[in-house]
Each structure stands twice: as C-alpha cells, then as structure tokens.
Amino acid sequence: MKKEIGIVFIFLSITALLAGLFFGTISSFQFVYPGFFDVIPFFKNRPLHVSLVVSWIFLSAMGGIYYYLPKYCGLPLFSRKMAVVHIWLFFITGLLIITSYMMGKFGGREYWEFPAILAIPVFISWVLFGINYFKTVLKKIGQWPVYLWMWATGICFFLFTFTEAYLWVFPYFRNNLIRDLTVQWKAGGALVGSWNMLVYGTALFVMERIKGDESVAKSKLAFWMYLLGLTNLMFGWAHHIYIVPTAPWIRYLSYGISMTELLILSKIIWNWKSSLEQAKKDYYFLPFRFLVASDIWIFLNLILAILISIPAVNIYTHGTHITVAHAMGSAIGINTMILLASVLFIISDVTKFEFVNVQKNIIRVGFWLTNVSLLLFMIFLVIAGAEKGMLVIENKLTFQEIMQKIDPYLVSFAWAGVGIFTGLLLTTVPPLIAVIKYLRKK
C-alpha cells in the first residue's frame, strides 16, 4: 500500500528532534565542562544541534500540510511524486550537511553553517514544496481559512529570507561590516517569522479539527493575527539590530509591533480551550494538553520578549544567555508544543493506533518533565544572562572573571537540558514506535 507521505515527514521530524536534543545536551555540558566528550567537539555539536532542531520544525510542519490538505481540506495533492522527490532531496541534503559538520567542513552563517553549495538543494526542495502547495490550494474556490494563507506566506517568505541569508556571498555585502551584519540579522529574524507562519497555521488547523468548527480559522481575530504576524515577519526582526547604526525609525517601528501576534494567538487558544466540550478534551487528550501548554509558554515568552525589546534593557541582554532563553522558550515552549500536538493528532489518525494507559502515562510524565525542566532551563539562563550583562557594562570584568561567577547557573542549566531531552524522549518514543510499525506494513 502507498504510505501517507506526510507521515514520512513526521517520522524524519521526530528523528531530527531527538538527534538535535542529543547534540544540544552534549553541547551544554561541553560549554561548562571543557573536554567533555571530545569525540564530537563543541564547534561541531552546536551546528548539529541547531540544524537538526530547525529541521524538526520545518519537517513536522511540512508533514502536517502534506497530510491535512488531501485528508481534511478536500484538496488532493497536485503531485505526490513531487512530494516524494521533496522528501528524498531534503533527506539526502540533510545527510550531506551532517557529514560536512562531522568532517569539520563549514562555510555558512547562523542557522546555515554548512558549506554554501548545499544551500542549492535546500532551496530547490522548498521550490518543489511551494509549487506543490500552490498548485494544490489554488483549486479551492471561496473564502480560505486563515491557515491556508499562513502556510502560503510561510513558504514564500522562507524562500525570500533564505535567499537573503546568502547575500553575504556577494562582495557588495560581505565587504561592508554594517551592511553584512544588518542583512544577516534581518534574514535570521525574518526566518523565524516564516516558520512561525507555518507553525501557527498548524495550531489553528488542529484547533479547528478538534473542535469541529470552521469558524475558528475564519474569524476576524484569526485574520488579525495573520496580519500582525505578517507585519512582524517583515519588520519585527529589527529588535535584533538595536546596536547597529541603522535608521532610528526602524528600531521604533520594530519595538511598537514586536511579538504582538502572540497576544492574539494566546487569546484564540484561550477562547478555544474555554469553549471546547469536555468530551472532546478527553478524546483529543494528548493534542489538547500540548496546545494548552503552548499557550502558557506564549505568555511567559511574551513577557521576556517585550523586556528584551526595550532598548535600555537590550543593551544589557543582547548577546547574553537571556537571548538563548528567549530562543529556547520560543522553539521548545511554543513551536515544539504546537507541533507535538499536530504530530500526535496525525499519528493517531494515520496509524489508527490507540495509546493505552501505560503509553499515555509515559507521554504524560514526559510532558510534565519537559515543561518543568524547560522552566528551570530558562530561569537559570535569564539569571546568568542578567548577571553577565551587569558584570560587563557596570563592573567591566574580563570574560574569564564573568564566566567564573555565572558558572553555577550554567551547570544548572545544563542539567535542566538533560531533563528536557529525557522528557521529550518519553513523549515521542511511543508515537514513534507506532509510526515505525505503520511504515513497516506491506
């Protein structure tokens, strides 16, 4: 039988998540214990961690789109063969990227640290995805639910920001420090906006399916969130470049709109949760729980994001561990919780696998361990970052003196990372086993 192409993406996405967390955990201990596990040194582990976690976000979102369009939107894929080529191209390129890291072959920039030549197949795979998506959804006549717009925007802006991220290969950008730095940080910030479109669109779709009410994704509130998200995607990145001597209006505009779409997303999830019948909460117990968790993390991360967007605060926090805390809160607390809800929804739907009480209990333990560990993880990073900023600006200490003072917080953060890895391992292994059994069927 033909396997659901979306579930293949989901399988690879979970594998990428666990591998990325493994390398991230090792990296955190290498950071506080130099010489730890020198088989794969820190300068290789860090890009492995970043690239694999970014792959998890994109692969799980893509898998959802490939599955939801024909199954629930009544839109058969334009080309299944194109989707198969897409996944093979993504997979082979991913192996080449991992191999290049292992061999110590780099050449890229932030998020894309692999040799620049490998950007070409990555770009082609997204072009194939984009063609397949638009050729599929343009068949739909009438009002589109907001998630179709969000997915379309995410694909288009990924291709734009990915191209922008490689402008450094041209001397015009590379030979001017200010221009190069501005474009790179702009591309990195907008890249996050592009995957947010894919992830938040997925959240709205899953909420619609659980509730069985299309008004969730066609409401004015949902479209306001889309427009604010689009504005953030185009302008909200500017809070990354407060320290670059660019035009002041860019910074003011960025501060005014920074993270506003999260307020509306949180409101939508809150309204959805409150209006959902208890029977549906019980039936969709696992996806429901992860969506609710994402709402809590939206609130916590929004507070941190607003604080570090204030220029007077940003002077102390930019480039410190607080920036890492903000990134991890978004990547794990918001994006990963939403995507896990989608992944669990799809796996249950495709494999017809009923999670028994033992498996549900394992996932429940993993859920709580992940969230509690992530909270501790962020607290230790914020404390370390705040102290580092003060010691640099106020006390003018050397780097070595600062690292000695914040070392206890960094050790604690590393052990909290072990808790996150263990929690997500417990969360994903039962559904991963179900997927493997499904893929092995003839």
What residues pair up with 112 in beta bridges, in sequence order? 109
CA dihedral in degrees (94, 9, 330, 336; nearest 10)?
Answer: -130
Predicted TM-score (pTM) of this structure: 0.91
CA dihedral in degrees (69, 75, 78, 80; nearest 10)?
Answer: 50
- What's residue 356's pLDDT? 65
Distance CA 271, CA 216 (A): 10
Higher pLDDT, 270 or 170: 170
Distance CA 71, CA 307 (A): 42
List pLDDT tens digits, range 422-438. 999 999 998 999 899 88
Distance CA 197, CA 28 (A): 29
- For the ranges 155-164, 201-210, 216-225, which has the lowest average pLDDT? 216-225
pLDDT band at 156 (very low <50, low <70, confident <90, very high): very high
- What's residue 102's pLDDT? 93
Q: What is the mean pLDDT of residues 319-324?
A: 80
Q: Is the pLDDT of residue 1 over 50?
A: no
Q: What is the CA radius of gyration of the chain?
A: 21
List pLDDT tens digits, range 241-261. 666 766 767 666 766 666 666
